A and B are shown apart, each in its own frame.
Chain A
Amino acid sequence: MDNLPSASATDSRNTQETLQSIDDWQVLSPIAILYFTASVFKHLFGNLIYLIPALAVSYKSVLEHPFIWLPSILVAFALLTLFAFLSFKVYRYRLTEDNIEIRSGIFSKKYLNLPFSRVQNVKIEQPLYYRLTGHACLQLDTAGSAKNEAKLVAIKLAFAQQLKTRIQSQVQNNTIETNQKNTCANGKEQPGQSADSAVTKETLLNTRKLSDLVIHGITSNRIWILLGGLAPFYDNIFDSVGEGLTTLGIDFTELFSLQTHSLLEVGLFALSLTMLVMLVLVSFSVIGAIISFYGYTLSKLDDKYIRRSGLFTKHEVSMGLSRLQMIVQKQDWLDVLLKRINLQFEQNNSFGKNHSLSATSSKIIVPSIKPHECQALIDDAYPQNALNALVSSNGFEPISKRFILRNIVFVLMPGWLIITSSTMMHGKLTISALVSMLFIGLCGFVVLRWKRWGVARDENFVYLRKGLIGVDYYCFPTYKLQQTQFKQNLLMKKRQLATVKFVLASGSLTVPMITEKLAYELIDQGLYKVESCQKSWM
């Protein structure tokens, strides 16, 4: 650490010199090599998943020839290290008064010039291996594509923080300028921040305790993703587990054989086994939640929300209130039982596409909070919203009952009829009985789904409720709409029903089978709001 060359020295000089513009190109600190190695590995392992089935089939024959795979792995390692070193060598950045330039790339050279005023989002990321030296990654998102993001790979944390404040103050000045020109009717986000707003203290809105994260781990279904990923190995896993148990003196076939045990015993075995598997899976999920949300804090600085979390890699995501597109309040069935809510602040997702993982995505998630905390946060973001009143008074307008009819008659019924009639013809009555039970169950789900659907609006917001057993609420300011779609087929026209699709920068929302009149009103009012209110959606 002590023998870091000039680069880190310039970094620290910069932190002292209050960010003078640097005219010459800067080199990163050598610690960045670690970062490049890690990212190459991450990329490689991401692609390796496709190779795993092939390896799984042929791993025995591969293992028999160590003189082939050992050197090849070594060569691969050497190449990767060389690649990381070269990436570090060619990486240069330069900061001027109001923009940032980055040159990178070994084979395909990349030159990026980004004015600070175009920055959407500033993220600070601190991987585990940067913590010893106090470095961090600063990621700048633009409204363009995900590929065009700028990332300063290894700079001092304090410098990163300073740079962040500077960029954000520049962005803010811009928004104030545009806001002052606006003659918008509902001044909800006051453009009244004066120049001294930069000195305002950061206020802490929410923290998550370890117990909250455990609850989040249990209730979130992230485990099914893991199960899906493991699918190709089920056979191997079960075989090896079976073999292992046999050597321990436990024989599965005997254990589950109905000839030696009573039905009750076998049932109990199966139950305890599933419980055991579930326990392991749930603990995985809990660990995942802790890794991504450890030390969670949500704070507010002026009109910016800042989320910090992470056990190994610390993430810091900040988002201006004006960037917020939609508030989503999600409750799975377990959340309903435990009375917990996952709150999401969604923003423009054009740069969030590649990060589906909750810790890295640019939307702000508040995991497993209690209802009153959730309400406080929503009211803080949108003081005029009436979501809570709507929820408690059940003020949502239901969708047409024909939704049930349509889904049962046109979607479920044909499949059920075909399967039952064909199984009946072949005399397999048990199968047709099972299918019929499934059919009835699905019909029940359709009814539940219908029951959850609901839409409401007031002067400034549109609210949506949907779900199956759990329930999700969506709330967005009407002027954030990007596009509307009115859909109607001939049958719906006859019944004067229609489907409305709201397109927002954070994604689209569909409300099926509402009355034609309501649909037209929603769209007309939405368009009116967007066009009469000169407020920018960003």
Chain B
Amino acid sequence: MLENTFTNPPIPIEQLPTILTLDEQSLSEQYAPLNRFINLGFTLLVCLLGITLYFQPFVNLPKGLLNSLPFFIWAAAILGFLFTWLSYARDLVRSYALRELDLHYTSGLFFRTVVSQPITRIQHIELKRGPIERKVGLATLQVFSAGGEMHTFQIPGLPVDTAQQLRQFILQHKDVIKHG
């Protein structure tokens, strides 16, 4: 019965679909600014804590700590701003791509990484939403394969609707239904 419909023509490697030309979708427009806001806020918080510690009159700090505290605050501020700037640039270049049979996630400013996850190998899916993500309507899609937790495929910063659509697409995918 199977033989009638079954064909197996040879495919030259050049004609295989390649991950070099992916139709890349960017993440939510809110994602990068939101991360920048959080990082900046955290940096400011650390600096503020240091400054209040420096000026507060209640506890006598050791001399050495008091002298070096401004230096630490400056260092925290500079490193924090650098980190914020870098991670903002990094967030901007993150993207994902969906093909009929697999998912791809591209990231990295200096170290580019393309992770490809065939849908047929997906074990289960999680939609993760922290308190801030819930507030602004974002979600993180996590996809687990048998490759272990170290190799969880995840796409952060998706609009909730898109994330849910993606999840639905994967759950109703013929490969998952067959093998899940």
Q: Which residues of A contact B (CB under 8 A)?
A: 143, 181, 183, 185, 348-350, 481-490, 493, 503-505, 507-508, 520-521, 523-525, 527-528, 530-531, 534, 536-538
Quick one: which of A523, A531, A536 has the most chain B CB within 10 A?
A531
CB distance A482 to B121 under 8 Å?
yes
Among B10-18, B36-44, B128-136, the stretch in contact with A: B10-18
| Interface assignment of B63: CB less than 8 Å from any CB of chain A | no
Return A533 CB to nearest CB of chain B, in Å: 9
Could you say which residues of chain B place their CB within 8 Å of the CB of A528? Answer: 11, 16-17
CB distance B11 to A350 under 8 Å?
no
Quick one: which of B102, B120, B150 has the most chain A CB within 10 A?
B120
Q: List which B149-180 residues lie within 8 A (CB) of chain A.
A: 150-151, 153, 175, 178-179
CB distance B146 to A143 under 8 Å?
yes
Could you say which residues of chain B place their CB within 8 Å of the CB of A483? Answer: 115-118, 121, 145, 147, 151, 153
CB distance B110 to A490 under 8 Å?
yes
Closest to B145 in A: A482
**Given A143-B146, A488-B113, A531-B175, 9 additional A-B pairs, CB 8 A:** A482-B145, A482-B147, A487-B112, A487-B113, A487-B114, A503-B147, A505-B147, A534-B120, A534-B175
Return A331 CB to nearest CB of chain B, in Å: 26
Could you say which residues of chain B place their CB within 8 Å of the CB of A530? Answer: 118, 120-121
CB distance B179 to A536 under 8 Å?
yes
CB distance A350 to B146 under 8 Å?
yes
- Of the candidates B11, B113, B151, the one whose C-beta lies within 8 Å of that of A482 is B151
Quick one: which of A348, A493, A520 has the most chain B CB within 10 A?
A520
Could you say which residues of chain B place their CB within 8 Å of the CB of A527? Answer: 17, 19, 101-102, 116, 118
- With A482-B145, A487-B112: A183-B120 Cβ-Cβ less than 8 Å: no
User: Would you give 23 A-B contacts (Cβ < 8 Å), ordered by A?
Assistant: A183-B2, A482-B146, A483-B115, A483-B117, A483-B151, A484-B115, A484-B116, A485-B114, A486-B116, A488-B112, A489-B110, A489-B112, A490-B110, A520-B20, A527-B17, A527-B101, A527-B118, A528-B16, A530-B120, A531-B118, A531-B119, A531-B175, A536-B179
| Interface assignment of B148: CB less than 8 Å from any CB of chain A | yes
| Interface assignment of B55: CB less than 8 Å from any CB of chain A | no
Could you say which residues of chain A place their CB within 8 Å of the CB of B145? Answer: 482-483, 503
Closest to B152 in A: A483
Could you say which residues of chain A place their CB within 8 Å of the CB of B16? Answer: 524-525, 528
CA distance A183 to B1 in the complex (A): 11
CB distance A488 to B111 under 8 Å?
yes
Could you say which residues of chain A place their CB within 8 Å of the CB of B102? Answer: 527, 531
